[in-house]
Amino acid sequence: MTLARLDHALETGALTLPDGARIVFLEPSPDADLGSLSGLDLTVQQNFKPAFDLFEAMGLPVTTDAAGPADIVHVTLPRSRELARGLLAKAEAVAAGGLVIVDGAKTDGIDATLKFAKDKVTIEGQTSKAHGKIFWFTSGTAFEDCALPDPAPVASGWFTQPGVFSADGPDAGSEALIAALPKLIKGRGADLGGGWGFLTKHLLDLPGVTHIDLVEADQRALNCARLNLTDDRVALHWADAATWGVAGSLDWVVMNPPFHTSRTPDSSLGQNFIRSAARLLKPKGTLVMVANRHLPYETTLATSFAQLQELEGDTRFKVLQADQPRSSDKPGRARRR
Ligand SMILES: C[S@@+](CC[C@H](N)C(=O)[O-])C[C@H]1O[C@@H](n2cnc3c(N)ncnc32)[C@H](O)[C@@H]1O
Between strands 281-292 and 317-325, the pairing is antiparallel
Among residues 131, 146, 161, the one where a domain terminates is 146
Give the count of domains, the chain: 2
Q: Is residue 296 part of a domain?
A: yes
Ligand 1, atom 6, lies closest to the CA of 194
What distance in angstroms lies between residue 271's CA and the mean position of ligand 1's atoms? 13
Same domain, 208 and 192: yes
Binding site membership of 218 for ligand 1 (Cβ less than 6 Å): yes
Count of Cβ atoms closer than 10 Å to residue 162 Cβ:
19
Q: What is the pLDDT of residue 213?
A: 98
The dihedral through the CA atoms of 76, 80, 81, 84 has a sign that is: negative
| pLDDT value, residue 328 | 57
Q: Could you tell me the pTM of the whole model?
A: 0.94
Nearest CA to ligand 1 atom 27: 195
**Ligand 1 center to residue 254 CA distance, Å?**
12
pLDDT of 330 = 52
271 and 227 assigned to the same domain = yes
How far from chain centre, in Å, is Cα 4? 22
User: Is the distance from the beta carbon of residue 325 to the nearest atom of ligand 1 less than 6 Å?
Assistant: no
pLDDT < 70 positions in the chain = 1-2, 262-263, 328-337
- Residues 134 and 192: their CA atoms lie apart, in Å, by 35
Structural domain for 242, as ranges: 153-329
- State pLDDT tens for residues 159-211: 999 999 999 999 999 999 999 998 889 999 999 999 999 999 999 999 999 99
Task: Clarify whether residues 115 and 241 are in a common domain.
Answer: no
Determine the Cα–Cα distance for residues 34 and 39; give it in Å rounded to an integer: 11
| Strands laid side by side in the 234-238 sheet | 234-238, 209-216, 187-192, 250-255, 281-292, 317-325, 305-313
Render pLDDT for 263-303 as a digit per residue (tens, 0 to 9).
Answer: 678 899 999 999 999 999 999 999 999 999 999 999 999 99
Long-range contacts of 291-297 (CB under 8 A, 24+ apart): 291/173, 291/256, 291/257, 291/259, 291/317, 291/318, 291/320, 292/173, 292/259, 292/316, 292/317, 293/317, 293/318, 295/259, 295/267, 295/270, 296/267, 297/267, 297/270, 297/271
- pLDDT score at 37: 81
- For residue 17, the CA-to-ligand 1 centroid distance in Å is 36
Helix (H, G, I), strand (E, B) or coil at 90: helix
Q: Which atom of ligand 1 is nearest to the CA of 177?
A: 8
In this structure, the answer to whether residues 186 and 111 fall within a common structural domain is no
Q: Are residues 164 and 308 in the same domain?
A: yes
Residues 185 and 139 in one domain: no
CATH number at residue 133: 3.40.50.150
Domain boundary among 146, 170, 196: 146
Q: Rounded to whole angstroms, what are the CA distances from 236 to 63, 67, 157, 224?
A: 19, 26, 20, 11
For ligand 1, say whether the CB of 323 is within 6 Å of any of its atoms: no
